[in-house]
Structure 1
């Protein structure tokens, strides 16, 4: 699922430009903020909850720490244990890398806002954060597609599994996913950087999300809007179609298995991947729907939902695979007992 910020207005028209400017002017007056450097933006954190920033930082830092601990542990175990150098665990390592990168592009800056009131960010830094955040999201989605293909091969063509999904082929698929993400996302910050920014450079958010940055552009952003809209439908449509196709073929293969035990065994191999997809796509869909249809919801709720969308899945993914995958769980327990 594409990051919620890219599925929000300007496509949906949730906030008009004039209304957005009025809110920004109000924030400027309320906090007496005037950027001394015209190339500096101001990230407000969570407007309306400034007094609770310290308390909000507790779950932020906790989720982030658990996410880093879980994903680095997974990478360490897979890298150390030769028996785990299999396609499934190599793909899981790719997923862990995206799960480390996603919150890392957001949480450290958010904590600087919460703890030290360091709200300034350069225009280049803001566009860079936006680029990497969306790029990693596209890579994450591509990894989930590859994992769905992995499960299809494991169930529908198990005898050729190791041949089809060799380490070299997985490395090529990972490289293709990286190139795809860069080529698709890079035009966004490049297009925005060519436009003049307005005088008010306050971003009422903890991150430089796409729509917040676009609202500060005073030039014509028609091309940027069209490109972002097409990009959203192309990536979501393509990736979700491939995942649905893979699982359609898996279900057909499972139904052909005569024994109930065979059904259960085949489906168990997909459980962890299905759970990971649900934790990724459902919160993103929920956040998008609240942005589109939740005009009565206060802005800080939208901001918190967008942040949780970037924090919760990376924290849960290594836990899900650790619980649902016996081989990985045994290796983690064995390594822990040694220490």
Structure 2
């Protein structure tokens, strides 16, 4: 009787909100077992109901087999595995996992680098309960210079109300997910859309261990470069600024050529027909560059309104349990 009462108290102490944990998996056979066990230990200890969703981005190692083996060892826990049809990158894969999640709150684990204390997971969740729809966990130290450069350029030219930075994981409320889905059918860069969704966002910094940083393979590096370039075009005015400065430079150059042509004509230091030809070219290129500047501006606006990214492709969704 006493033992039953103690069990009831323990259950009642757990959070009533249903949570989902979406985990990105790509060739992580060496990390996935420990990561899943740690995530499950936190969720089972603190929540009455939860789900774990692993999005397998067409891994060519034994990640899928390891997930299946771990699922058989965790009593009472159901793990859903989303198998992508082919490698599609972290953004589209995470979108697929979030779309099938049913939690009131959703944890996003973009990678399995656990350079933080497990208590940080619940700290981020409790912070969301204070009125924040999106709470990020961000390391204080970032080893990659390319990441620092990207965020510096992005934040300068995006005019986002919430500057972006390197983050490890985050928690989203269901309201935030619904808001983001109402803004765009496809989400090419989640962090940028989250920052501009209009809801309250907070970031918790933590002391990280740089030795835990995961090295990216060639395919992932290429995907990240493409995503960075697309994000700068979609969410900032970098492309417009570059094209505008290029147009200004070329117009200045044509102006100088025009002056040189007129001077040559006055001083009779030019061959017959040269002056008229150069004047036509000068004014012609001047008009073309001016038009290009306007067209590029309108194209950038259209890209902002209509994302050309394709939606993800799923091979199957498999449910695993003991």
TM above 0.5, yes or no, is no
Bigger strand fraction: 2
TM-score of the superposed pair, with normalisation by structure 1:
0.26
Bigger helix fraction: 1
> Relative contact order (alpha carbons < 8 A, sep ≥ 6): 1 or 2 greater?
1
Greater Rg, structure 1 or structure 2?
2
TM-score of the superposed pair, with normalisation by structure 2:
0.27
